[in-house]
């Protein structure tokens, strides 16, 4: 990509967009988020890269300008029609700001001329903050890596072309803008949502702040822990998160403690969409089944269930029920102003009420070798919502696993017990926190 100019090539490529659409429908998963918003919250998350040199804001803005034509689905504004929200393309790329506020602050959804994307810099960090309707974490990570690669090129470094970053010399492709839910929809009968409400972790909220705790652990340590129990690293982390919640839940706890794990469906269905294409699988424990749960008890309850819940057949059912609900004739004919309240009810009472916390494992994040030597690490922060106040993300570079908790609570008891448990099982844990006093007192 060392010769990238940010201008699409003129030759025709198979699947290339001939022109950027001025308007774009929200994808199936995206439709819920505008209606779920509240006055001081909307579904905004962060992905960031920390480089080894201080960020030059002028070169960063140039990098944004250069990649914008390649990712038109990220340069959109939210608009409200009579029956549906939709996206309108914007040419405004002036979105680079110095970070001066807490992470994942609400996006300005209807700000005239501004896309639903922020590019922030602070010292050596470049952060993207995105409204979830635009795209999921898998898509945004690819955008972040592409931005960082272009920035490093402008700094004078040569970055090789690989599948880990988008080639900005190529035009956008049609499949990158598609609603993959609808593309892979198969009509099925008898599909229903059957989940009971989960235990909700409640503590004292910190107003206008997000408590972020990063833990770094060698992957080899987690592999050894998981291997001893014949389970995957993801199973191990989910079990540890469940155990930490269980230790801090009221006794007796009559509702199930449930962890929600999002699954990218791109590898299952061969999709390259840069929009939302993830589903959630929920599983956990029922604390009232026995007097005292051990970690091993939790393992026996959940082992293998994540694998069972991520077969293509199960995911296909998830696609079908989501598209079926979104295309329900009654829902389609309800005006947007009323639909907002219906979607808010669905989001909180049929969605977030069904799990205690989410744990997103993004797997191994790969970058070109020529890029790796100029960076320190990635960071991912989900933020908190009005009903689910503690979230967790995990990913690795193949050597170190990064685990990040974000919460708008003062207390850090669950996070503390999670890392203490891993440390007690032999994992070497290094912790960083943006609110040092809360961690030390916990």
Looking at domain 211-441, its CATH architecture is: 2-Layer Sandwich (3.30)
Report the pLDDT averaged over residues 94-104: 95
> How is residue 311 annotated by DSSP?
S
Going by pLDDT thresholds of 50, 70 and 90, the confidence category of residue 436 is low
Taking Cα atoms as reference points, which of 259, 20, 239, 69 lies closest to residue 167?
69
Express each pLDDT in 155-205 by its tens digit.
999 999 899 999 999 999 999 999 999 999 999 987 877 889 999 999 989
CB atoms within 10 A of CB 400: 15
Going by pLDDT thresholds of 50, 70 and 90, the confidence category of residue 330 is confident
Looking at 113-117, 255-259, 288-292, which range is the least confident one?
Answer: 288-292
In the chain, the N- to C-terminal Cα span, in Å, equals: 47
Going by pLDDT thresholds of 50, 70 and 90, the confidence category of residue 218 is very high
Mean pLDDT, rounded, of the chain: 92
Whether 5 has a pLDDT exceeding 60, the answer reads: no
Number of alpha carbons in the 13 Å side-chain half-sphere of residue 48: 27
Amino acid 239: pLDDT = 97
Amino acid 11: pLDDT = 35
Whether 128 has a pLDDT exceeding 70, the answer reads: yes
Pick the CATH number of 23-183 from 3.30.365.10, 1.10.533.10, 3.40.50.450, 3.30.559.10: 3.30.559.10
Say how far apart CA 126 and CA 378 lie, in whole Å.
10
Say how far apart CA 323 and CA 318 lie, in whole Å.
9
- For tokens 């689910």, name the residue: 388
Whether 113 has a pLDDT exceeding 90, the answer reads: no
Cβ 306 vs Cβ 238: under 8 Å: yes
Dig out the tokens for 37 from the structure.
């918003």
Cβ 5 vs Cβ 166: under 8 Å: no
Report the pLDDT averaged over residues 328-338: 82
What pTM, to 2 d.p., does this model score? 0.92
Say how far apart CA 2 and CA 162 lie, in whole Å.
12
Say how far apart CA 214 and CA 29 lie, in whole Å.
28
Dig out the tokens for 72 from the structure.
């038109």
Report the pLDDT averaged over residues 283-287: 94
Whether 9 has a pLDDT exceeding 50, the answer reads: no
The enclosing H or E element of 57 equals helix 57-67
Where helices occur in 209-361 by DSSP H, the ranges are 219-228, 233-248, 266-269, 295-302, 305-308, 312-326, 329-333, 336-349
Amino acid 13: pLDDT = 47
Amino acid 440: pLDDT = 43
- 418 vs 306, higher pLDDT: 418
Give bridge partners of residue 21 from the DSSP assignment. none
Q: What percent of the chain has pLDDT over 70?
A: 95
Amino acid 107: pLDDT = 94
Express each pLDDT in 33-75 by its tens digit.
999 999 899 999 999 999 999 999 999 999 999 999 999 999 9
Give bridge partners of residue 218 from the DSSP assignment. 400
| Domain extent listing, the chain | 23-183, 211-441
Say how far apart CA 341 and CA 345 lie, in whole Å.
6
Whole-angstrom CA distances from 229 to 285, 299, 300, 360 are: 18, 8, 10, 21
Going by pLDDT thresholds of 50, 70 and 90, the confidence category of residue 365 is very high
């Amino acid at each position: 990509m060392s010769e990238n100019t940010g201008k699409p090539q003129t030759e025709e490529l198979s699947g290339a967009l001939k022109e950027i659409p001025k308007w774009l429908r929200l994808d199936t998963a995206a439709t819920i988020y505008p209606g779920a918003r509240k006055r001081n919250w909307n579904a905004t998350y962060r992905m960031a890269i920390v480089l080894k040199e201080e960020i030059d804001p002028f070169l960063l803005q140039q990098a944004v300008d250069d990649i914008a034509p390649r990712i038109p689905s990220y340069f959109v504004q939210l608009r409200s029609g009579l029956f549906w929200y939709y996206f309108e393309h914007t040419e405004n790329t002036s979105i680079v700001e110095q970070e001066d506020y807490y992470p994942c602050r609400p996006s300005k959804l209807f700000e005239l001329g501004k896309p639903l994307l922020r590019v922030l810099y602070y010292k050596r960090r470049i952060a993207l903050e995105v409204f979830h309707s635009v795209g999921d974490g898998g898509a945004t990570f690819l955008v972040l890596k592409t931005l960082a690669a272009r920035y490093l090129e402008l700094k004078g470094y040569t970055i090789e072309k690989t599948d880990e970053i988008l080639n900005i010399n190529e035009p956008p492709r049609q499949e990158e803008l598609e609603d993959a839910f609808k593309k892979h929809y198969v009509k099925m009968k008898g599909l229903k949502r059957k989940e009971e409400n989960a235990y909700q972790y409640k503590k004292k909220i910190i107003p206008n702040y997000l408590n972020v705790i990063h833990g770094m652990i060698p992957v080899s340590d987690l592999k050894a822990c998981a291997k001893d129990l014949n389970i995957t690293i993801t199973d191990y982390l989910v079990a540890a998160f469940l155990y930490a919640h269980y230790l801090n839940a009221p006794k007796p706890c009559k509702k199930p403690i449930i962890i929600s794990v999002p699954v990218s469906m791109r590898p299952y269905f061969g999709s390259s969409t840069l929009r939302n294409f993830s589903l959630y699988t929920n599983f956990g424990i029922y604390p009232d089944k026995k007097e005292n749960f051990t970690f091993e008890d939790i393992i026996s309850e959940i082992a293998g269930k994540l694998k069972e819940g991520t077969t293509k057949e199960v995911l296909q059912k998830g696609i079908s029920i989501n598209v079926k609900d979104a295309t329900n004739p009654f829902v389609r004919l309800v005006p947007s102003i009323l639909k907002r309240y219906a979607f808010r009810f669905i989001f909180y009472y049929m969605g977030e009420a069904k799990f205690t916390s989410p744990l997103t494992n993004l797997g191994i994040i790969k970058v070109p070798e020529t890029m790796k030597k100029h960076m320190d690490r990635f960071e991912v922060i989900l933020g908190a919502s009005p009903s689910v106040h503690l979230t967790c993300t995990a990913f690795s570079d193949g050597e170190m696993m990064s685990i990040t908790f974000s919460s708008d609570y003062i207390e850090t008891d669950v996070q503390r017990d999670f890392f203490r448990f891993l440390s007690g099982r032999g994992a070497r844990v290094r912790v960083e926190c943006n609110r040092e006093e809360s961690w030390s007192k916990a």
